[in-house]
Structure 1
Amino acid sequence: MSQFIPSIESGKKMLLLFAKSQTCTAGGIPARTVLTSVYNSRHFVERAPDLYTSPTEAILCPDLKQSMYAQLLCGIVKSAEVVVVGSIFASGFTRAINFLEKYWPRFCRDIRNGELDREVTDPAIRDAVNRILRPDPALAERVEEACRRKSWQGIIRDLWPNAKYIEVVATGTMAQYVPILEFYGDGLPLVCSSYASSECSFGINLNPICKPSEVAYTLIPTMAYFEFLPVDADDNCLVNLIDVKVGEEYEIVVTTHSGLYRYRVGDVLRVTGFKNRTPQFSFVRRKDVVLSIDTDKTDELELQTAVERAFGGLRPYGVTVAEHTSFADVTTIPGHYVLYWELRGGAEEVPASVFDDCCLVVEESLNGVYRQCRTAEGSIGPLEIKLVEEGTFDRLMDFAISQGASMDQYKVPKCLRPGPMVELMERSVKARFFSPKCPTWTSSMIL
């Protein structure tokens, strides 16, 4: 990053990081996520104190609300020193801004009085925050002036005026958060610096200030032994690292130093070029995320593209879709796709016909097999959009975390399975709309 943004190492990073509680296997072996392992490591705990604004005590706190509150407060208190803001995933940082939008009066009160909110009860957090919190009426007034505005466009620049970029993963399913973060950042670059998973680290982005849609990761050959399985090919058709072809898509397979042997990670990558003899890849999708009712197969990328096209119908009304997910409802005859949307903004009420048209736009954007089943065979019913109450997706994340998911690694599932998550969404539905007619289809579309 220092090659692209000079003096970036002279300030602090406000990176919102969240550790998860450790569990044990039946045999007593400690088990935790890779990020939680990092945050608890001596290397991280004994890091240079000037690197991050968040106290270690806040990062390690299992109470997510207290952790979020403390980390944001410290980030604002040290805002003059902050040169980087962000989180692991774009979804996490978006939620942090929404959290700030809800609680900014409390932050202003704490900063003005130099006293931490009483609802933050964790003793370790209180001690850590109180070491840096001092009465600062001028800062409180500046934060209040920025936050009381009707529009939050550029709020990140207003609160952290020296920030050079937003560091988040904004590729794959996280791409849906790019417009809202661009709105909050008002021109700040969105940096996707590296590609990693719990299995191993893969590579880095050698052009980190490029647009998220142009991100390509250069694999580091010494991180693991990498092999590639062409999409839809036989399991025995593995290709070596230097033998992949530009433009082709592959599922990545790893053999790692820690003992995984030819492990299928489940990520589908597209070769975009080479750095010397090392290939560069863009993340396409997760292989196993699909909607299916009959013979149709809708993958994550296709669904995301179709939904984004439908969003365009809401723009004239000043409305955006803050979060969305989907569900293949086979309880009806025939079964049909359900999209759950949580809306944000817009002073003008959106006519029902607009949402009906959104349903049709999604269907028109799906593949030929889906449209054949829907139009010619009648084996799939009209697509349905269900609008849910504000805060529903926060509750969905809270539920996932209560079941063992990690705050740092949580991603909104783009396809729900029957069970508690669908039940949670259904309890929050406030309106529903169906596609008004069948999408177009001809026999040539199936090819």
Structure 2
Amino acid sequence: MPNFTLTLLTSAARLSKAIFVRKTRKTAICQEKFLFSLLKTHQETEFGKDYSFKDIQTIEQFKQKIPILTYSGYEKYVERIAKGEQNVLTSDPVVYFNQSSGSTGKQKLIPVTKRVRKVRSRVTQQSLGFMTDAAIKKGLPIGKMLLTTSIQIRDRTSGGIAYGTSSVGDLRNMDFLYRQVFVHPYEALKPADSLARNYVCLLFALRNPQMRVIGANFPILALQLADYLKRYAADLIKDIETGKIAAWLNLEPEIRQVLEKQLSAAPQRAAELSSILESEGILTPKMAWQNLSWIITARGGTSNFYFEKFHKYFGDTPVFGGIYAASEATFGIYEDFNSDGTILAIDSGFFEFIPSDEWEKEQPKTVLAHEVEVGKYYRIVVTNYSGLYRYDIGDVVEVVDFYEQAPIIVFRHRMGGLLSATSEKTNEFHATQVMQQLQKEFDLPLENYCITLSDDEIPPCYLLNIELLPGHPLHNSEKFIAEFDKKMQQANVSYEDKRVHNILPPPRLRILASGSFATVRQRLLQKGIPDSHLKIPHINEDRQFLAGLNIDKEVKLPQLKEAGV
């Protein structure tokens, strides 16, 4: 990118970081100021009137008047907003909904206003400031970025409001200057087909040997990008040589036309990449971009499993986490490379923390940001401009340190557990709902079941591990796993999206030997879990959770055919 553009963006980001750092020195004051500014802004909304925002004078009164709520407490309000009503949860008009699948098995729609976008943009800029300073400190060159995230909205509500993932909303709202950060045209993010989108983004990126940064929402997506590069290296090199996009690619004609106008032949670069492919037998990101500076992707939670696979494709390239966020809120800002700790985003929301000994209570007591203790685990509660007040997302975080007076938190897991091969976030309720339907439909009571992820492919597939009861055979295992796939798509819209677009491989059924879950139970008891609290989870991302168990039968569904393969 032109030096003046890069200088302008990094200078603005470093200034934003400096302002944020000053706020962290007065965390309690910053948090209180944020809360009462928000309450004043939203006091004339329906929710604000219902809970008498005007009468709240202290943080303690705020806690007393407003209960801690999950999404179900907001659903009736959101449904009305989706139909077009305004001034329900927020005083500002809702212009978009972030979509998420929730603990009820239904999609969550989180209101987004221009003010919400402004706050999110500010936090992103603060994060870029930390990233820039960390890069300068390490002597890492700053340059253009490869990103393959879709910018397609999912649909519109009956009231005409667009909805989709939060990343789609962020990217569509990105101004012209920030779009210049990409090594590829912005239009390369438009293809609906996952392979096509990754292919064209790689195509433009490979032409530039000085590309510096790879961005991916989740580590699994970075590995998937590397897998696409490995599988389609020869095709990509041919297209770089000719300046044409492969005819077999499932690419919308209007997008193909726009992109080909911006693509020119680069035979010298093609020859360079061809030489690497011929000598190494593979083309990895680190080989293609030998001066790659860093990768931006989510850290914490289950990311470490995927990071173990990074070295093969990315070498020792450092990883920056960006921001710790969800559809509902932005929680933290990463401060350095290869660190899971995030500084609480104290000017993006008002945060409370539920201590672990309060988790089982219906209305637990909370502590504030400056009151948390290092080494302890908390469930995080947020109040923000999306119209969420004392919202319990279920995220469990560990406080690992303080940055000035702001806590540094690490996301550990979601209460109840989640299963994500990419980013579909299947939860325990989804699994229970689907399996109850299957057992009834097939008249098949099970000893137990647990859905895990495979460890022999990228992205992994769902493994439905079941143990049959004596005298209850499964007569049509192929139909059983096919129905599982169908019902999971109905239960979890994000799973459906990943399967329809062939991002997520088809699931496999594993019928375990008799006594398998008794063995699992003994393993858990041996780990010190009290018998009275022992519960075998129905979803588990630990690839070793069922290791060593005998498999009587394994059934696979056929893979969806990819365009051009």
Tell me the TM-score normalised to structure 1 length. Answer: 0.67
**Given the alignment of the two structures, is residue 446 of structure 1 paired with residue 530 of structure 2, yes or no?**
yes
SS of structure 2 residue aligned to 1:236: coil
- Residue by residue, what CA displacement relative to the aligned partner does 1:177-223 show, whole Å, maximum 9, x if unpaired? 101112211111122132112222222112x223xxx4110012111
AA at the equivalent of 1:239: V
Post-superposition shift, 1:342? 4.6
Moved more, 430-439 or 142-151: 430-439
Over 3 Å counting, the alpha-carbon distance change for 1:83 and 1:433 in structure 2 is farther
SS of structure 2 residue aligned to 1:172: coil
Aligned to 2:170: 38
Aligned to 1:84: 213
Pairwise mapping of residues 426-441 of structure 1 onto structure 2 (< 5 A)? 426=508, 438=519, 439=522, 441=525
Pairwise mapping of residues 293-304 of structure 1 onto structure 2 (< 5 A)? none
Unaligned runs of 5+ in 2: 1-130, 459-466, 468-484, 532-565
Aligned to 2:507: 425
What CA RMSD, in Å, does the superposition of the two structures yield over aligned residues? 4.0
**Given the alignment of the two structures, is residue 202 of structure 1 paired with residue 331 of structure 2, yes or no?**
yes
Choose from 210, 217, 222 the match for 2:347.
222
State how far apart, in whole Å, the 2-side matches of 1:24 and 1:338 are: 32
State how far apart, in whole Å, the 1-side matches of 2:157 and 2:530 are: 48
Over 3 Å counting, the alpha-carbon distance change for 1:272 and 1:151 in structure 2 is farther
- Residue by residue, what CA displacement relative to the aligned partner does 1:325-350 show, whole Å, maximum 9, x if unpaired? 997877554214354425159xxxxx
State how far apart, in whole Å, the 2-side matches of 1:340 and 1:333 are: 20
AA at the equivalent of 1:425: P
Over 3 Å counting, the alpha-carbon distance change for 1:20 and 1:140 in structure 2 is same
Post-superposition shift, 1:400? 5.9
Moved more, 179-188 or 46-55: 46-55
State how far apart, in whole Å, the 1-side matches of 2:349 and 2:416 are: 23
State how far apart, in whole Å, the 1-side matches of 2:412 and 2:527 are: 28
AA at the equivalent of 2:454: W
SS of structure 2 residue aligned to 1:19: coil
**Given the alignment of the two structures, is residue 258 of structure 1 paired with residue 386 of structure 2, yes or no?**
yes
Post-superposition shift, 1:148? 4.8
State how far apart, in whole Å, the 2-side matches of 1:148 and 1:268 are: 48
- Residue by residue, what CA displacement relative to the aligned partner does 1:225-250 show, whole Å, maximum 9, x if unpaired? 11111235123311111111111111
**Given the alignment of the two structures, is residue 239 of structure 1 paired with residue 367 of structure 2, yes or no?**
yes
Q: Which has the higher strand share?
A: 1
Post-superposition shift, 1:129? 2.9
Aligned to 1:294: none
State how far apart, in whole Å, the 1-side matches of 2:405 and 2:503 are: 33
Aligned to 2:204: 74
State how far apart, in whole Å, the 1-side matches of 2:517 and 2:170 are: 51
State how far apart, in whole Å, the 2-side matches of 1:150 and 1:2 are: 33
Choose from 177, 183, 195 the match for 1:65.
195
AA at the equivalent of 1:40: R
Tell me the TM-score normalised to structure 2 length. Answer: 0.54
State how far apart, in whole Å, the 1-side matches of 2:414 and 2:225 are: 25
Pairwise mapping of residues 370-385 of structure 1 onto structure 2 (< 5 A)? none
State how far apart, in whole Å, the 1-side matches of 2:271 and 2:499 are: 35
Instruction: Tell me which structure has the larger Cα radius of gyration.
Output: 2
State how far apart, in whole Å, the 2-side matches of 1:223 and 1:158 are: 39
Post-superposition shift, 1:277? 1.2
Unaligned runs of 5+ in 1: 291-299, 305-323, 346-373, 375-392, 413-420
Which structure ranks higher in relative contact order (CA pairs < 8 Å, sequence separation ≥ 6)?
2
What fraction of aligned residue pairs are identical, expressed as a percent?
22
AA at the equivalent of 1:29: I
SS of structure 1 residue aligned to 2:351: strand
Aligned to 2:158: 26
SS of structure 1 residue aligned to 2:256: helix
State how far apart, in whole Å, the 2-side matches of 1:436 and 1:35 are: 39
SS of structure 1 residue aligned to 2:248: coil
Post-superposition shift, 1:70? 0.8
Aligned to 1:136: 266
Q: Is the 8 A contact 1:194 1:203 kept in 2?
A: yes
Over 3 Å counting, the alpha-carbon distance change for 1:54 and 1:433 in structure 2 is farther
